[in-house]
Chain A
Amino acid sequence: MFYIHNTTCISPQITFPEVDLDQLISCTENKFYTKEIPSTDIPPAILRRMGRAVKLGVVASIPLLKLQAQLNGIIIGSANGGMEDCIKFLNQIIDYEEGVLTPTNFVQSTSNAIASQLGFISKNQGYNITHVHRGLAFENAVLDVAMLLQENPKHTYLLGGIDEIADYNFNIEYLCGYIKKNSSNLDLYNSKTSGSIAGEGAAMFVINNKHEGAVSELKALKTIHTTNEKELVNVFEKFINDNLPENKTIDLFLSGENGDIRYEQYYKTIESVMNSNVSIAHYKHLSGEFQTASAFALWVSNYIIQTQKLPLNMLKKQTVKKNINTILLYNNYQGYQHSFMLLEKA
């Protein structure tokens, strides 16, 4: 599909600008916010209008924009975009009886505010789009950029997955049972209740078709909407048969399990049909659960391949210790939006 070169990530953990995943940051409530976002590189006049999601995306992207002056497009996955601003704007419509409304909240509230702001800052007039397909928003951005590279093999793109914790959305998800009442990321996987912890973050990638200088290669992606485990297993087996050569093995399975007892079975099922020699790791205790958490998963997989460091807190099952060159990522969002990605060392 494509090669991954430079990356950045803002998450609740120590990932920006330096990375230290061994020092696990814990959350004491069911909201796992990112650490304070350093924003010194953004002009104050622009910064003051930015909502949280826009700030996350822009701050994470600026180092990559500095490194990669020539980008042919910006492709973002964000299920909610600037949801907090969106709710402020909608509430104003009610509070002021559809009278005079402020433009800033409206401008910042659209999902494409992040990609468009990046386009303005970098003066990039290339392809600029945002995918918003709930738990597969990032995966659809990945698919889009892979197709773009088929059409334009010499291009380089900025790809990202970004979402924020917005109070209004959080409350709805909490009431729907997708968020636990009281939980810590430290015992997330021991939970026997429904729900997870809410997370947020931005993971950005510079990608193209050039093997030279790349860290990893995304070999394949498959998404499916289903609640049927048999159908899921069939899709998974075909995905492996189609994309993993017989002489290669998966070194690590990165599971998107999130502590929600209702969706645990999907992960157990996929683990059960995999070779028992595959080591297993998980990451939602680092990022929390959100629609584009799979972008964090891709970022951390790339990091593991690059550094050959697998933090102990991520490890669920270790088989034989060996180099980690091939990682299989599986995530499902709310039990019906599933994705598989296969990442290899470049």
Chain B
Amino acid sequence: MGTLELKQELKEKIIQFLNLIEVKPEDIKDDQPLFGEGLGLDSIDSIELIVLLDRTYGIKIKDPKEGRKILVDINTMVDYIEKNRTK
């Protein structure tokens, strides 16, 4: 799967996992912050995203400091998935 396809898939998964009503994949920009003023996600969402990475890509994030660097935006997540996915 190419990077563009992975980005599209990840956006769809995020919308599905977080039940983001009224958000479409094209509404999420690759460099838009996921938390705070960007997509407006919160701390519970961060756990949902960690579960998403585990279930969908076989990536286990155990260190919270590591998570902060990965769950920044779509670009950082996709970069980490491409390097670390096990499925």
Closest approach, in angstroms, between the C-beta of B19 and any C-beta of chain A? 4
Q: Which of B20, B22, B40, B51 has the most CB of A within 10 A?
A: B51
Q: How many A-B residue pairs have CB under 8 A?
A: 30
Is the CB of B54 closer than 8 A to any CB of chain A? yes
Known: A103-B44, A104-B44, A107-B44. A48 touches B51 (CB 8 A): no
Q: How long is the Cα–Cα vector from A47 to B20 in the complex, in angstroms? A: 9
Beta-carbon contact of A103 and B22 below 8 Å: no
Closest approach, in angstroms, between the C-beta of B50 and any C-beta of chain A? 7
Stretch at the interface among A94-102, A130-138, A205-213, A220-228: A94-102
User: Which residues of the partner chain B approach A96 to less than 8 Å between Cβ atoms?
Assistant: 55
Residues 10-39 (chain B) with a chain A CB within 8 angstroms:
17-22
B contact residues, total (Cβ < 8 Å):
16
In-complex Cβ contact of A47 among B21, B51, B54, B60 (8 A): B21
In-complex Cβ contact of B51 among A45, A49, A101, A107 (8 A): A101
Closest approach, in angstroms, between the C-beta of A135 and any C-beta of chain B? 32
Q: How long is the Cα–Cα vector from A48 to B18 in the complex, in angstroms? A: 8
Type the 1/0 row for B36-60, where 1 means its CB is closer than 8 Å to any CB of A.
Answer: 0000101010011011001100001
Chain B interface (Cβ within 8 Å of chain A)? 17-22, 40, 42, 44, 47-48, 50-51, 54-55, 60
Chain A interface (Cβ within 8 Å of chain B)? 44-45, 47-49, 96, 99-104, 107
* 20 residue pairs A–B, Cβ–Cβ below 8 Å: A44-B21, A44-B22, A45-B40, A47-B21, A48-B18, A48-B19, A48-B21, A49-B19, A49-B44, A96-B55, A99-B54, A100-B50, A100-B55, A101-B51, A102-B51, A103-B47, A104-B19, A104-B44, A104-B48, A107-B44
